[in-house]
Chains A and B, each alone.
Chain A
Amino acid sequence: MNEPPPTSEREARYGRLRRGMADHSLDALLLYAAGWRREYVRYVTGARLRASFALALLPLAGDPVALVASEEDRRAVEEAGWVADVRPLHPLRLDPPRGLRRMGVAHLELMPEAILARVEAELPGVELTSATSLVDAVQRVKSPWELEQIRGAARVCEAGWEAFVRALTPGVPEYAVVAAVEHELKRLGAEDNFMLIASGGREVMGMTPPGQRRLRVGDLVRTELTPQVNGYWCQICRTAVVGEPDAEQRRSAELFLEALEAGLTAVRAGVTADQVARAENDVFRRHGYGEYCTSRYTRVRGHGHGLHPDETPAIVEGDRTVLEEGSVVIVHPNTYTPLAGYHVLGDPVVVTADGFEPLLATERKLFQVAP
């Protein structure tokens, strides 16, 4: 399932990054990959890396360089075929382009002191500045090839949710449900998965990794599952009930469906993340549940995704990021209410000029599982 991106993709990405560099008066970009944030280096090298550190250097003009921490990662970059100059990270040798005076560093905020100190020693007199926001902005708009990958991840996402529902049986512990989902996602070729779960009643305030709690009749079982396929993540948020839902669980499901649909109705190119979040939250406010949209509970009403499962923008009131055509966001009004406890419902979409393209065909409803 790990198909390297085509060469045309590389040229498009480098072009977008270089336009951003020029706009920000940068002579080069240094992209850092931490063990849990490898998306920028993957974007520039096309390679799936596994080590805890990697760097990629993209000059404003000239060829890129990849600096890797393992033989396995060297091979991955070479096999992807985008970057010919692959060097070991230790000892660091950047050979900065002539005239380098100002360099942006993407994920500077995560770069370990041991690596940044060596970068600074290699580049005396060069001004280093964070380029995290710049690269985030470039990556927000997906190419047609990237959208195909995310659509592929969406199919795996749907299958993962179906496996989740099949696994919901009274007496089964939460972690066994996750095991069943993981089996299905990996069988379909997922590289990785980010997943949280919560089972129980009104006392549930949020989702976490699974515990030993065994499912009971009457439980709501909530999950967000987020498989990564060929580099790209796609998320689904749904809630199921074991047995017949009670009146408040039904009411909760109606409330969250109304909020999700209000958020989706607001989505189109040109609106801000704030407007989408406000549309979702207005539903809660109208029904008297506005306090559950605050930081005391859950403020974030969705987010972008792509090569990282939680990309910008955050769909949250106050975020003025403008949604662009071709970006991918999940709209999820997930939060606690006293109706039925924490409830999740969310769908990822591609932002279009006049609305959105849904990525999932899974019904937006409270799923019921026969006990």
Chain B
Amino acid sequence: MKRGLVVLEEWAPAELRARVEALQQRLAERGVEAAAIYGDVHRSGDLTYLTNLCLYWNEGLLLVPAEGEPTFLTKLSPRVHPWMRATSTVADLRSGPDLVRLVVEWLSGRQPAVLGMVERGWWPAPLLRSLAVALPGWRLQDLGPVVREARLRPSPRELALLRESAAVASRAWRAGAAGLTPAERTASAERAARERGVEDVLVQASDSWLEVVAEYRGYWTAIAGGLGTTPDPAPLTAAEARLRPGVSRRALETDGVSVLHHVDLETGGDHRPQEDRDLPLEAGAVVALSVGRPGARLTHTYLVTAGGPERLTGSQEGA
């Protein structure tokens, strides 16, 4: 659960503004008045990408107008607004138990037009349907994974954070591997990750296996492996050899291999679009490759480059 360090880096406001402006340009091109992005404590990567907001509990909506500053609508109490302003780039924060009412209030005074819903299919249906009723004249248009698509290509700043995330995850894995019991391994890995300032970390351990999935400044990486008896690394080595720009997930996912883009690690890939399997990986993408079954898989995180994959997570030696 998100209870780790939340920091707005000094360089972040300028880059986050550019990300918002890129989205606003797409809205203008499509004739969309504003984009609405739903998030909850389980899945809020798009919100973090655009604003550095940490939705540590409950639900919220980020509204990005085609022109102007974003607004965040949340079910959290107004008493967290000062903290949210200090740790994000959003100045306009509005709280209330009814998100529909907050959206209607935000749109009041605007002529009915097109409201873009980012990944509409994952919105809670009652919220979506209530908005349709509460906004007569407005057309609620599915924008698809428009924010996710931008996140698939990390900037140099993002890549630096992904590298740090991978270093933290690797260190946590090694700290956890030294434990004697699954609980001790989990405890040691959690402590090592949190002392290095992760926002969140998901650790699974058994008598013979350990997995660490860490979020550092909004960027997720994963490492998993066996303790003593390592799962057969041959399929992973073979997949590594094929990990090049232009290859699709479908082509990689043979012999028990699975591929998760770093943006999908937050929710284990549960929300990724089906068509994503056939899209070619681009140079600069960061993905986690896994082999084996849950509870015994071998996982590393890689940067895809034209010259071959660069493993970002360190070795598991020293366990």
A209 touches B270 (CB 8 A): no
If A209-B56, A336-B79 touch, whether A109 touches B124 (CB-CB below 8 Å) is yes
A1 on the interface (CB 8 Å rule)?
yes
Residues of A within 8 A of B2 (CB): 209
Q: Does B191 contact A (CB under 8 A)?
A: yes
Q: Tell me, in angstroms, the Cα distance from A72 to B290 when the chains sit together.
A: 14
Of B15-23, B152-160, B180-188, which binds chain A? B180-188
Name the distance in Å between B194's Cβ and chain A's nearest Cβ.
3
Cβ of A180 within 8 Å of any chain B Cβ, yes or no, is yes
Question: Does B270 lie within 8 Å of A52, measured CB to CB?
Answer: yes
CB closest chain-A residue, reference B188? A183
Name the residue of chain A whose CB is nearest to the CB of B128: A113
Q: Which of B3, B128, B267 contacts A209 (CB 8 A)?
A: B3
* CB nearest to A113 among chain B residues: B125
Contact A36 B126, CB 8 Å, known A184-B187, A186-B183:
no
Chain B residues, CB < 8 A from A116: 125
Chain A residues with CB under 8 Å of B270's CB are: 35, 51-53, 69-70
Known: A52-B42, A179-B194, A186-B186. A112 touches B122 (CB 8 A): yes
A336 to B80, CA, bound (A): 13
| Contact between B56 and A179, CB atoms less than 8 A apart | no
Interchain nearest-CB distance for A197 vs B (Å): 8
Q: What's the count of A-B pairs with C-beta under 8 Å?
A: 138
In the complex, which residue of chain A has the Cβ closest to the Cβ of B184? A187
With an 8 A cutoff between CB atoms, is B268 at the interface?
yes
Contact status B267-A112, CB under 8 Å:
no
Residues of chain A within 8 A (CB-CB) of B125 are: 108, 111-113, 115-117
Residue on A with the closest CB to B129? A113
Among B4-12, B104-112, B229-237, B301-309, the one that faces the other chain is B4-12
B1 contacts which of A34, A113, A192 (Cβ < 8 Å)? Answer: A192
Contact present for B4 and A298 (CB under 8 Å): no
Q: For the side of the interface on B, what is the size category? A: 35 or more
Q: Does B40 touch A at the CB level, under 8 Å?
A: yes
Whole-angstrom CA separation of A208 from B197 in the bound complex: 15
Closest to B84 in A: A208
- Closest residue on chain A to residue B121 by CB atoms: A114
Q: B79-101: contact bitstring with A at CB < 8 Å (1 yes, 0 no)?
A: 11011000100000000000000
**Shortest Cβ distance from residue B4 to the other chain A in the assembled complex, whole angstroms:** 6
A205 interfacial contact with B, CB 8 Å: yes
Interface core residue of A1, A71, A117, A209 (most chain B CB under 10 Å): A209
Residues in B104-148 with C-beta less than 8 Å from chain A = 120-129
Expressed in whole angstroms, the Cα–Cα distance for A108 and B5 within the complex equals 33
Q: How far is the CB of B113 from chain A (nearest CB, A)?
A: 21
Q: How far is the CA of A265 from the CA of B123 in the complex (A)?
A: 43
In the bound complex, CA of A217 to CA of B271 (Å) = 46
Contact of A72 among B54, B184, B294 (CB under 8 A): B294
Q: Does B311 contact A (CB under 8 A)?
A: no
CB contacts under 8 Å to A, within B261-319, are 267-268, 270-271, 293-295
Report the bound CA distance from A147 to B83 in whole Å.
36
Indicate the member of B42, B79, B129 with the most A CB atoms within 10 Å. B79
Are A211 and B6 touching (Cβ within 8 A)? yes
Asked whether any CB of chain A lies closer than 8 Å to the CB of B33, the reply is: no
Q: Is B46 an interface residue (CB 8 A)?
A: no
Tell me the bound Cα distance from A336 to B294 in angstroms.
46
**Chain B residues whose CB sits within 8 angstroms of the CB of A114 once the complex forms:** 121-122
Option from B3, B184, B188, B191 in Cβ contact (under 8 Å) with A196 = B3
Assess A188 versus B183: contact at CB under 8 Å? Given A36-B40, A182-B194, A206-B77. yes
- The minimal Cβ–Cβ distance linking B198 to chain A, given in whole angstroms, is 9
Question: B11-51 toward A: CB 8 Å interface, digit per residue (1/0)?
Answer: 00000000000000000000000000000111100000000
Chain B: CB-nearest residue to A72: B294
- Contact status of A183 and B128, CB under 8 A, knowing A178-B4, A209-B2: no
Q: Tell me the smallest distance from the CB of B276 to a CB of chain A, in Å.
A: 15
B3: which of A50, A187, A210 is its contact (CB, 8 Å)?
Answer: A210
B43, B77, B188, B199, most chain A CB atoms within 10 A = B77
| Contact pick for B79, options A51, A53, A298, CB 8 Å | A298
The yes or no answer to A193 lying at the interface (CB within 8 A) is: yes
A197–B293 CA distance with the chains assembled, in angstroms: 37
Does A297 sit at the interface, judged by CB under 8 A?
yes
A126 near B: Cβ within 8 Å?
no
Given the interface pairs A186-B187, A187-B183, A211-B5, the reply to whether A72 lies near B121 with Cβ below 8 Å is no
The reply to whether A205 and B79 contact each other, CB–CB distance below 8 Å, is yes
Cα distance A57–B77 when bound, in Å?
A: 34
Q: Please report the C-alpha to C-alpha distance between residue A184 and residue B87 in the assembled complex, in whole angstroms.
A: 28
Which 8 residue pairs across A and B have the least CB separation, nearest first?
A35-B42, A179-B194, A114-B121, A52-B270, A183-B191, A187-B187, A206-B79, A186-B187
Contact sample, A vs B, 11 pairs, CB 8 Å cutoff: A35-B267, A113-B121, A115-B125, A175-B194, A175-B195, A175-B197, A182-B191, A206-B83, A209-B199, A211-B7, A296-B78
Interface of A with B (CB < 8 Å)?
1, 34-36, 50-53, 69-72, 75, 108-117, 173, 175-176, 178-180, 182-189, 192-196, 205-206, 208-212, 296-298, 336
